[in-house]
Amino acid sequence: MNTTERRVVVNTCLSIDGSYIGPGGPQDFGWAMPYVTLDVSRDHLTRLWEPATTALLGRTNAEGFMSYWPAVAEQEDAEPRDRAYGAWLRDAEKVVLSSTLSEAPWERTRIFDEPAANVVDRLKAEEGGDIVVFASASVIKALLLADRVDRLSFMVFPEILGGGLRLFDEGLPATSWRLSSNVTGERGVIALTYDRLRTAD
């Protein structure tokens, strides 16, 4: 793949009112659990990682993901799409943004204590497929603020949380996007994909 074709793709789950974490604090994610194992959610995740070669994560999400997903890849009774994602995450390049980790506890991992936009610029100059940010809201927000996101990928779950942490803060630059995919699945879950429209598009 030509290096100019690498896309920065950000992915997370959102409530109808735009929150990614409920009002109960950082662990308030139970509202999403009934939906993440639906076919529409698993298929959406598969479409994300298949063209990707790099997972870009914050430290907290990296620790959570790597303590869970690689083991799923080894579970013969696990759902096949879950096993495939676990194997991909285990084998793919991982880039972790952290000011506290000095070395990577996982294979095929690089650690950077730098602004997310700087790291993305470096990655886009290298060979590879898509660079995907999985649910690391602090990284997503920093990249949106710096206008480094090429694709927005959301799972919208039919819940109103009435509070919590919102993804889109005030102060983001005004940007234009094209709806590239809109898939409605079970229980009213919607998988949305938007591509950034830039001047040359």
To the question of pTM greater than 0.85 for the whole model, the response is yes
Q: What is the pLDDT, as a whole number, of residue 201?
A: 57
Q: What is the pLDDT, as a whole number, of residue 4?
A: 55
Beta strands at 176-184 and 165-166: parallel, antiparallel or unpaired: unpaired
Q: Are 44 and 6 in contact (CB under 8 A)?
A: no
Residues of the chain with pLDDT under 50: 1-3
2-12 tens-digit pLDDT: 445 799 999 99
Residues across the chain: 201
Of 114, 10, 125, whose CA–CA distance to 61 is shortest?
10
Q: Into which CATH architecture does domain 54-129 fall?
A: 3-Layer(aba) Sandwich (3.40)
Which residue has tokens 């996982």? 106
Q: What is the pLDDT, as a whole number, of residue 172?
A: 93
Q: What is the pLDDT, as a whole number, of residue 200?
A: 65
Q: What is the pLDDT, as a whole number, of residue 27?
A: 86
Neighbours of 167 (CB within 10 A): 20
Domain ranges of the chain: 12-51+151-183, 54-129
Q: What is the pLDDT, as a whole number, of residue 1?
A: 39
Q: What is the pLDDT, as a whole number, of residue 91?
A: 95
